[in-house]
A and B are shown apart, each in its own frame.
Chain A
Amino acid sequence: MPSFSNGRSQEVAMLVPAMLCLVLIIVVPFALSVGFSFTDQRLMPRPIPTRFIGVTNYERMFADRLFWQAIGNTVLFTVLVVPFQLAISLTVAMALNAAIPFRGLFRTVAILPLLLPITVVVAIWAVLYRIPTGPLNAVYQLFAGSENYIDFIGGSDTAMVALVVLSAWATFPYQMLIYLAGLQDVPGDLYEAAELDGATAWQRFRFVTWPSLRNVNIFLLIITTIQALKLFTQVSVMTRGGPNGSTTTIIYYLFQQGFTSQKIGYASAISVFFFVAVTTIAVLQRVFLKNEGEA
Chain B
Amino acid sequence: MADVRIASVTKRYGAVEVVPSLDLHIPEGSFTVLVGPSGCGKSTLLRMIAGLETVSGGTIAIGGRDITHAAPSKRGVAMVFQSYALYPHMTVAENIGFGLRLAGMPKSEMEARVREAADILQLGPLLDRKPKQLSGGQRQRVAIGRAIVRKPKVFLFDEPLSNLDAALRAQMRVELSELHQRLGSTMVYVTHDQVEAMTMADQIVVLNKGCIEQVGAPMDLYRAPQTPFVAGFIGSPKMNFIEGPIAREFGGELLGIRPEHVTLSDREGRWSCTVRHAEHLGGETLVHLDSPEVGRLTVKVSGDIAAAPGVQLYATPGLDTSHVFKGGLRAPS
Contacts and interface: CB of A to CB of B under 8 A. Distances in A.
B87 A198 contact: no
B73 A195 contact: yes
Contact of A192 (B77, B85, B102): B85
B78 interface: yes
Contact of A203 (B52, B85, B102, B146): B102
A203 B99 CA distance: 11
A195 B83 contact: no
Contacts, number: 58
Contacts of B99: 196-198
B87 A192 contact: no
Interface stretch (A102-110, A116-124, A128-136, A207-215): A207-215
Residue in B51, B77, B81 whose Cβ sees the most chain A Cβ within 10 Å = B81
Contacts of A195: 51-52, 71-73
A193 B85 contact: yes
Contacts of B85: 187, 189-190, 192-193
B33 interface: no
Is chain B's binding surface mostly helix, strand, loop or mixed? loop
Contacts of A190: 85, 87
Interface in A238-259: none
A198 B89 contact: no
B98 interface: yes
Contacts of A193: 79, 81, 85, 87, 146
B88 interface: yes
A195 B99 CA distance: 9
Interface string B46-89: 00001110000000000000000001110001110111010111
A272 interface: no
Interface residues of A, number: 18
For chain B, give the interface size range.
20 to 34
Given A203-B102, A207-B98, A196 B77 contact: yes
B102 A196 contact: no
B157 to A, nearest CB: 13
A198 B79 contact: no
A194 B89 CA distance: 14
A178 interface: no
A197 B73 contact: yes
Nearest to A210: B89
A199 interface: yes
A214 B88 CA distance: 11
B103 interface: yes
Given A192-B81, A192-B85, 7 more contacts: A187-B83, A193-B79, A193-B87, A196-B50, A196-B52, A197-B99, A197-B146
Interface of A: 187, 189-190, 192-199, 203, 207-208, 211-212, 214, 293
For the complex of A and B, 7 pairs with smallest distance between CB atoms: A198-B73, A197-B99, A189-B85, A193-B85, A211-B89, A198-B102, A196-B72
